[in-house]
Amino acid sequence: MGHYLSSSFQTNPLLTFTLLLLVALTLPPIFERIKLPGLVGLLFAGVILGSNGLGLLDAKSETMKLLSDIGKIYLMFVAGLEIDLEEFRKTKERSLGFGFATFAVPLIFGTAIARFFGMGWNASILVGSLLASHTLLGYPIVKRLGVVADEAVTVTIGATIFTDIAALLVLAVCISIHGGEFSTASLIVQLVTLGIYAAIVLVGFDWAGRKYFRHTGDEESNQFLFILLAVFLASVGAQIINVDQIVGAFLAGLAVNDVVGRSPVEEKIEFVGSTLFIPFFFVGMGLLLDVPGFIDTLTTELPLTLGIVGGLLLSKFIAAAIAKLLYGYSWERTLTMWSLSLPQVAATLAAALAGVNAGLISDSVFNVVIVLMLVTAIAGPVLTTQFGRRLSITTAVGSTQEYGLRGDRTDIPDSAFFEENPAIISTSQVVVPVTRFRVVVPVANPATERNLIEMGALLARQQEGKVISLSIAKAHVHMDDPELKQTMDQSRKLLKEAVKVSKEFGAPGKSLIRIDDDVVHGISRAAREERANLIVMGWSRTNDLRSRLFGSVIDGVFWSAHCPIAVMRLLKEPVEIHQVLVPLKVLNAQARLTIEFARLFAETNQAAITILHISDRQTPSAEVKALETQLLNITNKIESVDIAVRIMRHDNATEAILTQAQNYDLVILRSTRLRTAGGLAVSDVSDRLVRQLNSSFILFGEPH
């Protein structure tokens, strides 16, 4: 019976696909709960379901080969797509300098170690190239810590372009040499062919993409298909010139990087890849892992394993130290660069698999690469958290005295609270632009309309601005649709009441009906057209099926809006709110903007603010003291409201905040500008707080 079941799974593509979906859905979250990367769970699933376990999946079946190949191509494409070319251009000289160092030093180390253990020159150089690239697993961490704009981080991100391209070129040359007789002429021909091919992909695909996107406008489905076609055309082209397909996929990602930008199309591309095909690739890698051979490698090839892992750690550190000497970086920056360049996942695994398939490296070396991936995928993010936190503190200390909370946000034009305006007022503390503060309040629910308009009116009045009440009337093609007429009648009633409320609280009001086929687009476009400084929205739960699958309206507006958004669940009228709690994890530019919003609200009705930071018991006292000093330096400049700073130690931040929130009328939480299929993407702590808070709250999201 067991043999029949395993045979059915291996030969039935539908059963295979269903099982892969089940694995991708369940295992990564389980492993992340035990503080392991989700991809480790996918590899584990491959081992359990493969020939060494239950035998339900076969790595050699046509279905698994196809899905794994698509996942591998998608993985390298997304690696190229996620590189921020704009940041690379800002620091391209230093990025290339560090990129060369963090490529060349590990390449030399890896080649020397492989030669020491008796490998041939070609295989040794390939092993060295496997160590030379890196995957930015720590990017979400430095983004959360607010140090993405630090030069050390942008240089490391930019260096990824050089290391990945160089490593893939070395892979292409090594496999080409392995496939035929080596000669100088054949090598030159291969390099010239590769150069021509790379130019065609990088220049040609970029040009074609710009033309196509300009022609198709908002046709996201066709644009998505165009990008997919470009990826697989590049991969097929790579195979035609005898280069591994992952080289073409990575180059295609770089080629369409500027075209796609940070658009909904990019989101859809990455969503499909991270949800389906990339997990399938990692499961396929687990299927290829021979458990007895893996255990044998760890015992008989332990010196090689230690040599490769140790060589990587040391060589990447030396490369970061070279950058420190060349560019005068601090140790905080140097160690952050080192930790970011440690993880060996995307390019390393894909290249190792290509090397095994070509017969260039042995299964034992492949097993060592798996160990390397596991060690660096865990150690890299952990070290990035530690060193990035120190970098965050150093950066904040250096900028605290220069930062004003009264409107000097010149780094976010058109989207901060204060819009650029020729009229300037000079105060004793900062220079404050005189602006027409605009608050856009979308209204749809009569039950929550009054509190939202009241909040918008209070904020607008405080800044001598105006509140714009917005109603979206959904329609498609036919403007004579009876349903549209009914919708617009309802909108007029809502807006009439909204104007009354805004006048009641002394703020100039304007009502606006927008006809649009999409509520999210309607809100974000209207806010941009009205040059809004802030969008105020009501909170709604996203438990329905559609919201879980495609995201809610709130989720969409957070993703697409140009200005800050305040999503509110108010249990009492804003004028009755006098005690405000603002929990902060780190002090960065986004956290400061949250403080600015809290200050702006508190000034409307003389409310008091408490800034709360929860540190776990393992956090060094020096770090806690440094953060407290920074917060006090900032809050001491705010004379218009009563603001206090409170630092607590607690192992469960959610529990501590919930306990403290009972003594306050309102809690202001910060959201990040991310989007998932499951709704608004906030931190784990904020997510739990939103579900458990019994008081009013505002989820405040900064612009991109």
| 28 Rama class: left (phi>0) / alpha (psi -120 to 50) / beta | alpha
CA 386 to chain centre: 19
Query: What pLDDT, on a 0 to 100 scale, did the predictor assign at position 3?
Result: 54
Mean pLDDT value across residues 433-451: 78
Strand positions, DSSP E, 625-693: 642-649, 666-671, 675-676, 679-680
- For the chain, give me the number of helices (H) and strands (E)? 30, 14
DSSP letter, residue 440: E
Burial of 272 (C-beta count, 10 Å sphere; 0-12/13-18/19+) = middle
Structure tokens at 155: 């240089």
Q: What is the pLDDT of residue 511?
A: 84
Rounded to an integer, the average pLDDT of 163-184 is: 72
- Tell me the one-letter amino acid at 106: P
Give the other-Cβ count within 10 Å of 26's Cβ: 11
Strands 679-680 and 675-676: antiparallel
Tokens of 438: 């605009």
pLDDT value at residue 182: 55
**Sequence spans of domains, the chain:** 2-388, 570-704
Predicted confidence at residue 405, as pLDDT, reads 31
- Say if CB 349 and CB 131 are below 8 A apart: no
Residue 147 reports pLDDT greater than 60: yes
How do residues 394-404 score in pLDDT, each as one tens digit? 554 444 333 33
What whole-number distance in Å separates Cα of residue 194 and Cα of residue 174?
13
Q: CATH number for the 570-704 domain, one of 3.90.1170.50, 3.40.640.10, 3.40.50.620, 3.20.20.70?
A: 3.40.50.620
pLDDT tens readout for residues 536-578: 888 876 544 344 333 467 777 877 788 888 888 888 888 888 8
On whether the CB atoms of residues 129 and 167 are closer than 8 A, the answer is yes
The pLDDT assigned to 544 comes to 44
- SS3 of 173, please? helix
Confidence (pLDDT) at 271? 74
What pLDDT sits at residue 323? 87
Packing angle of the helix pair 346-357, 278-288 (nearest 10 deg): 50
CATH topology of domain 2-388: Na+/H+ antiporter like fold (1.20.1530)
Residues near 153 by beta carbon (within 8 Å), at least 6 away in sequence: 142, 147, 336, 337, 340, 391
124: which 2 tokens?
Answer: 């040794």
pTM (predicted TM-score): 0.56
